[in-house]
Structure 1
């Protein structure tokens, strides 16, 4: 198992920490990811989290652009200006910081969502609505749906 799959909702504790699902921690361990790169998703009100390789991938894309172009500058604002590094504590918990709360609206619960090479943190109701909308859009293209 080397991909982030499925979703799970967890409670934020009184100190603002949330336990990362065990299956996600297993993937982090298998990939030897100890430092997490977190960024504000470009499409959804979610925080995307992966290893340094995720940041490296975005920086390679930026490097393909003219460093003075609007595209390179916009990408850097999103990738660097909208990103932070984080670590899990010894019990596998992540601190739900203002950076996360302000962008997502997360309060007392967090839905963890697998996205193959990374995972996301969502406010649970926002995730349910986005998933329902995505399912409806997918099914809308099928005959008989």
Structure 2
């Protein structure tokens, strides 16, 4: 897949409804359709207070990484704890909404709004201010490391 339309790009913030559902941005839903993704693998990010969301290929990628090391090693054990113990499968409803569960809220601090953040082959769910802060810190680190 090399087309621009099959990547998760940009970001958007949507309000969570009274039933704890949030509409996934139309552009992100289009990528899911184009990639044939119906079941979503949701994983607690290893670095940020965000939930990474992708298709089964996202889980496959992490499992390949785990399989590349000794399965009895502390590294494989820790990785499995994060990938399998910090992940769930979810589906969008017929209107393209995702349930914002306690699994998501507890890890991210999401309250009434969700910021969807494109990460090329997957997207993430963020508490809006946490995303703005992390993006500003990443931009500052990127620009401060440039030679003058």
- Determine the structure 2 residue equivalent to 1:8: 12
How far apart in 1 are the matches of 2:44 and 2:90? 13
Deviations 1:72-116 (A, max 9, x none): 100000000000000000000000000000000001000000000
- Determine the structure 1 residue equivalent to 2:85: 81
How far apart in 2 are the matches of 1:46 and 1:61? 21
SS in 1 for 2:131: helix
- Determine the structure 2 residue equivalent to 1:124: 128
| 1:94 aligns to 2:75 (yes or no) | no
| 1:30 aligns to 2:34 (yes or no) | yes
| 1:115 aligns to 2:119 (yes or no) | yes
- Determine the structure 1 residue equivalent to 2:60: 56
How far apart in 1 are the matches of 2:76 and 2:145? 35
- The Cα of 1:118 is off from its aligned counterpart by 0.3
Query: What TM-score, normalized by structure 2, do the two folds share?
Result: 0.96
Deviations 1:28-64 (A, max 9, x none): 0000000000000000000000000010011011111
- The Cα of 1:143 is off from its aligned counterpart by 4.3
SS in 2 for 1:117: coil
Runs of 4+ in structure 1 over 6 Å off: none
How far apart in 2 are the matches of 1:81 and 1:143? 42
Query: What TM-score, normalized by structure 1, do the two folds share?
Result: 0.98
SS in 2 for 1:4: coil
- Determine the structure 1 residue equivalent to 2:141: 137
Alignment length (residue pairs): 144
- The Cα of 1:142 is off from its aligned counterpart by 2.6
| 1:105 aligns to 2:84 (yes or no) | no
Structure 2, gaps ≥5 residues long: none
